Each structure stands twice: as structure tokens, then as C-alpha cells.
Structure 1
Amino acid sequence: MLELSILGFLYEEPLHGYELKARIQALSGHIRPVSDGALYPAIARLVKAALLEQRTEPGSGAAHRRILSLTETGRTELLARLRNPKDTEITDGQRFFTLLAFLRHLPDRAEQAAVLRRRQSFLDTPSSFFYRDGEPVRAEEAPDVFRQGMLRIARATGAEERAWLDEAIRGLES
């Protein structure tokens, strides 16, 4: 998801590393903090793959800043990743939110809707955090108030997400 975030934010405008890190941190929040030890090697890989360019500009003080921008190859790569997200980018809630943050860059509304349909299909598959005799445990059947809470919150969140997906897909297909 780090590379998708880098490509997505740089699709919008060139940034220096510090600003890019701040935007990624704001998107992923406390759930998945990004360290310099992860960010800068990822940037180096993307530069080596010719997906990013970097140039040096004078900073506000004495230090120069490296400004990162997306190459045409990087733009093509981002759009390909948005068109065909990995299964984990559909099934993992935080990864899906990262995908959603940049899905607007995909110019074809039908392709955007197709990605949302994949998430919709995933949500329509019965699942639970807990199982009994191979069957999902419903909130009302959970053995304690804590598991009941987990299941009720997940059910409410899922219902709201399904409603939004239906609305968004209708809007994209109209």
C-alpha cells in the first residue's frame, strides 16, 4: 500500500519526501505508520523502476530539497494498479480505503464501478470473526458482551458500506 500511496499522491502533484510522508501518515493514520526506513527505500525502488523522478531544489534554509514527481510510466502504473487491485486491496478495509483515496484518478467510470463491485462482492460473502461448527457466529449468539460488540459494530459498518457502494455504483453507471 505504501507504493500505491506514493504513486497516488505524486499523481496529484510533485512533492518533497517530508510532505509525501505527512500525507501518507494522514491517510493511514495510527493504524499503519510509515517510517523513513520504509518510505525512502520504496521511493528508491520506484525511482530505479523509472516510475518516479527526483530533482533538487533550494530549500527555505541552506538545505536543498529533493522534489519527487511521477513519470509517464509511473502514471501508467498507477492507473493499472487502480484498474486491477490485488485481492488484499479489496478485502482489507484499510488497504481498500487507500485504494479509494486514489480511485478518482482512474478516468473510466465503468472501471471505477468494477472495482467497487469487487468490494461489494467480497462484502456479500458471509463471514464473521468467530465460527461455531463451521458457521459464522451472529452478534446475538456471541458468548460475551465484548464479542457481541465486535460483531454489532462490524454489522453496522458493513451495512453502511454496502449502502454507500450501491449508491456510488449507481452514480457511476448513470
Structure 2
Amino acid sequence: MVDQRPSRVWLMRGLYLCLSLFIIFVHLLPLASAPSKWAPPDLILALTFAWAMRRPEYVPALFVGGVVLLADLLFQRPPGLSAALVVIGAETLRARATANRKMPYLAEWITVAGVMIGVAIAQRLMLSIFFLPAPSMSLVLIQLGMTIALYPIVVLISHFAFSVRRPAPGEVDALGHRL
């Protein structure tokens, strides 16, 4: 059984914050002098959704909102839009986490892909409603496709490197509540 002491939960929350800040840092590095013709995958979204599906207590809404709001500000996106949509998506997955434990991995991947597509559509819709400039549809589709394609790799790395696994049947936390 996995140790679910409060110190472990806070350690994993800190790890989520550090990984997210590292991803933001890497995105901000000036690695190319010419603009690229493709958009990199949204690894923060994939990481957040992978951890929300496997261990929702590791990614509380406040942390998710803060990390994505920081990314919005640093990547010069409309502040709060992505943050709100990712929090809604993560909370949707969190609400279904108990039911998702019994589903096979392919069904989990399809569920997460559906939520990612919903977030992208909602973001595009909100940008058009408020007449804000939106990135080209091809860039959005490339980023979305790459994020969905990299989700299994993020899950594998989370599983083997950071021990973010689905709770075992009958597993309880430090207070005796079923996970």
C-alpha cells in the first residue's frame, strides 16, 4: 500500500509545483531565434490531468489555478482564462476519479482527451466571444494533438519516477478514509 501520510501528500504537492515551474522555465528559455511553425504540447495540462486522475489529493484546485495563472501571465495569454478552464477540467476528472479507477487505461486516455478537447473548445469560444486575438486553429490543433499523444508518456513517468499510482482497492489515508 502507498503511504498516504499528510507529509507525503504535501511532498507530492510540492513536487507538482516544482515540476510545473520547471516546465514553465523550459518554455521561457530562448532556444530558437526564429518563430516556430508548431506549438509545443501543454505539459502542465497533461501533468495536471494525469495526477488528477490518479491521485486527486496531490493537485488541489488552488495549486492548479495558481500554476496555470502564472503560466498565463508569463506566456502572455489572457490572464485567468486557461487557469479557470484547467481547474474546471481537473475538478471534472477529480469528481470522476473513483469511477475511473476501475476503467482500463485506454478508457482513461479517451476520457482525458475528451476533457482536453473540451478545454480547448471552451477557450476558443471564450476568446471569440470577447473578441480577443486567438492563435491560428492549426497551432491549437497541433498543440492539442501533441498533448493528447504525450499523455501516456506523462502517466508512465509519473507512475515509475514519482510513484503517482491509482489507489489500490480498499486503500485508506492516514485518517482512515477510503481513497
Do the two structures share a fold, i.e. TM-score over 0.5?
A: no
TM-score with structure 2 length normalisation?
0.28
Q: Which has the higher strand share?
A: 1
Greater C-alpha Rg: 1
